[in-house]
């Protein structure tokens, strides 16, 4: 496989991250480690970078995260522009899957496909109704299990061509919100609510969860949250989806891998923990003392800081503005005021900015969404990006396999001793 030439700015960004963020661990073995050249990436044959931080692991046209420019780009479109122009989640889904914004006819057809695919296969719904999983199961375990179960019931099961995978992606985007809402209601001994084909993705999920159609502002804000969660480059769950797809496995396997990865607290779950933190603080008057105590104990402040964005997550200010609007509509500024106080406190104390999960937490809370569903909702949006990346990886065919090396750091020269002599 021939190496892919990268744009100079991509290489420079990767080298910059390596120098600033990581201390590579070098293992010489019997061969002296070559001395690194200034401003050069470490020799991949002899250098281990924890977490692959700053390592360029692939080339993608799906999205670009550029912390230096404080930007997140979906297929060439700045997300700030997409949100400002009230782009729908359906439009952005089409964009990420197809590489271009749809015209009116294409969007109409895409929306119709999504609305027609929301119902779950009968065996999957019956598994929920029969309480196949314990009612107290982690919601991410539930989602992972039922998404995996969808695979064999897909009309295109066994097919792995681009056309079939496009249809599979649409079904996943359509059905995952149904899984989340239906499984939650059933586990709480409530009847599931059938999807409403007259509603868009944002409206329909809130309706299936609560039984009430959302007001226009709530629907608009929830649509924007889904848009902002839809894609974010080579994050851990996206990378796991690409690794699975790189073996030429199927799309459901790739998405199941991604969901399992997102469950881990070092990647997903921050939005849930932010809300639990706000509930624990209880009042804006308690913010200073609570944060001081947490910092004194070396505890992280959830929703503050980001692995890539050091000058602010471009999505956070968008959500803060929406959070203020929704808080005023609810005549409840408690959570907004607390979050604002925490943000100012952390900027003064640590010069750290909020990330996408910070304001997302109490936005969901204002909408009446249970805290344990926050991370599954992340998945309901990010399945678009996961699918786009998995299909991009699959398109590489026989050249797609991701198979890195490892550096052995164990003992050598061990001699076998029979078990009765040990």
Burial label for 33, CB within 10 Å (0-12, 13-18, 19+), is middle
pLDDT for residue 73 is more than 70: yes
Whether 239 and 402 have beta carbons less than 8 Å apart is answered as: no
Distance CA 275, CA 328 (A): 19
Annotate 286-296 with b (16+ C-beta within 10 A) or e (fewer): ebeebbeebee
Cα dihedral sign for 244, 246, 250, 252? positive
Contact 389, 241 (CB under 8 A): yes
Report the run of H or E that residue 82 belongs to, with start and end: helix 79-84
pLDDT bracket for residue 20 (50, 70, 90): very low
- What does the pLDDT look like over 116-167, one tens digit per residue? 999 999 999 999 999 999 999 999 999 999 999 999 999 999 999 999 999 9
Cα–Cα distance, 182 to 205 (Å, whole number): 10
Digit-coded pLDDT (tens) for 318-342: 999 999 999 999 999 999 999 999 9
Q: Which residue has the higher pLDDT, 350 or 23?
A: 350
pLDDT grade for 31, boundaries at 50, 70 and 90? very low
Query: Is-contact 96 226, C-beta < 8 A?
Result: no
Q: Phi first, then psi: what are they for 163, rounded to 5°? A: -65, -45
Q: What is the pLDDT of residue 55?
A: 79
Tokens 């015209």, residue?
103
* Residues carrying an active site annotation: 306, 357
Considering the chain, what percentage of its residues have pLDDT values greater than 90? 79
For the cut 60, the answer to whether the pLDDT of residue 36 exceeds it is no
What's the rounded Cα separation, in Å, for the pair 112 and 106?
10
Confidence class for position 44, pLDDT limits 50, 70, 90: low
Overall average pLDDT of the 190-198 stretch: 97
Tell me which long-range contacts 340-346 makes (C-beta under 8 A, separation of at least 24). 341/284, 341/287, 341/288, 342/281, 342/287, 342/291, 342/301, 342/304, 343/304, 345/287, 345/288, 345/291, 346/291, 346/301, 346/304
Q: What's the pTM?
A: 0.88
Q: Please determine, for residue 35, whether its predicted confidence score (pLDDT) is greater than 80.
A: no
Query: pLDDT digit string (tens) for 271-293?
Result: 999 999 999 999 999 999 999 99
Q: What is the arithmetic mean of pLDDT over 95-106?
A: 98
Three-state DSSP state, 387: helix
* Bridge partners for 354 per DSSP: 304
Neighbours of 145 (CB within 10 A): 18
Mean pLDDT across the stretch 190-202? 98
φ/ψ bin of 118: left (φ > 0), alpha (ψ from -120 to 50), beta (otherwise): alpha
CATH code reported for the domain at 82-402: 1.10.580.10
**What per-residue confidence (pLDDT) applies to 40?**
58
Between CA 177 and CA 341 the distance in angstroms is: 33
Mean pLDDT of 201-215: 97
Tell me the C-alpha distance between 21 and 41, whole Å: 13
H/E stretch holding 261 reads helix 251-263
How far apart, in whole angstroms, are the C-alpha atoms of residue 68 and residue 413?
Answer: 48
Mean pLDDT over 54-82 rounds to: 90
Cα 200–chain centre separation: 21
Confidence of residue 372 (pLDDT cuts 50, 70, 90): very high
Taking the C-alpha atoms of residue 82 and residue 79, their distance in angstroms, rounded to an integer, is 5
Buried b (16+ CB within 10 A) or exposed e, 60-93: eebbbbbbeeeebbbbebebbebbeeebbbbbbb
Higher pLDDT, 309 or 184: 184
The answer to whether residue 374 scores a pLDDT higher than 50 is yes
């Amino acid at each position: 496989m021939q190496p892919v030439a990268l744009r100079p700015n991509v290489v420079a960004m990767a080298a910059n991250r390596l120098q600033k963020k990581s201390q590579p661990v070098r293992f010489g073995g019997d061969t002296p480690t070559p001395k690194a050249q200034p401003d050069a990436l470490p020799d991949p044959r002899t250098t281990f970078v924890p977490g692959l931080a700053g390592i360029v692991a692939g080339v993608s046209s799906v999205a670009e995260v550029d912390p230096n420019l404080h930007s997140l780009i979906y297929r060439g479109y700045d997300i700030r522009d997409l949100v400002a122009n009230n782009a729908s989640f359906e439009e952005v889904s089409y964009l990420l899957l197809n590489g271009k914004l749809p015209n009116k006819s294409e969007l109409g057809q895409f929306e119709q496909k999504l609305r027609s695919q929301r119902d779950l296969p009968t065996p999957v719904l019956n598994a929920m109704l029969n309480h196949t999983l314990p009612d107290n199961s982690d919601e991410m375990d539930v989602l992972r299990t039922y998404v995996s179960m969808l695979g064999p019931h897909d009309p295109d099961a066994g097919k792995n061509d681009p056309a079939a995978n496009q249809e599979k992606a649409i079904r996943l985007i359509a059905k995952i919100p149904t899984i989340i809402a239906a499984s939650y209601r059933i586990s709480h001994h409530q009847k599931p609510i059938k999807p409403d084909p007259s509603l868009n993705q944002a409206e329909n999920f809130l309706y299936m969860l609560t039984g009430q159609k959302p007001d226009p502002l709530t629907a608009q804000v929830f649509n924007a949250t889904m848009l902002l969660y839809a894609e974010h480059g080579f994050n851990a769950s996206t990378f796991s989806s690409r690794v699975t797809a790189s073996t030429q496995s199927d799309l459901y396997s790739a998405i199941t891998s991604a969901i399992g990865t997102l469950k881990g607290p070092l990647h997903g779950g921050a939005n849930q923990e932010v809300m639990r933190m706000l509930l624990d603080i209880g009042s804006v008057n308690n913010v200073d003392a609570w944060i001081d105590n947490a910092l004194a104990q070396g505890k992280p402040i959830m929703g503050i800081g980001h692995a890539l964005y050091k000058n602010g997550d471009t999505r956070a200010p968008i959500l803060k503005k929406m959070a203020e609007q929704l808080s005023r509509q609810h005549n409840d500024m408690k959570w907004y005021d607390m979050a604002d106080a925490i943000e100012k406190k952390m900027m003064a104390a640590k010069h750290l900015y909020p990330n996408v999960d910070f304001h997302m937490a109490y936005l969901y809370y204002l909408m009446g969404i249970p805290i344990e569903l926050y991370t599954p909702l992340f998945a309901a949006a990010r399945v678009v990006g996961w699918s786009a990346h998995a299909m991009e990886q699959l398109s590489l065919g026989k050249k797609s396999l991701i198979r890195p090396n490892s550096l052995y750091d164990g003992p050598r020269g061990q001699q076998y001793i029979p078990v009765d002599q040990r």
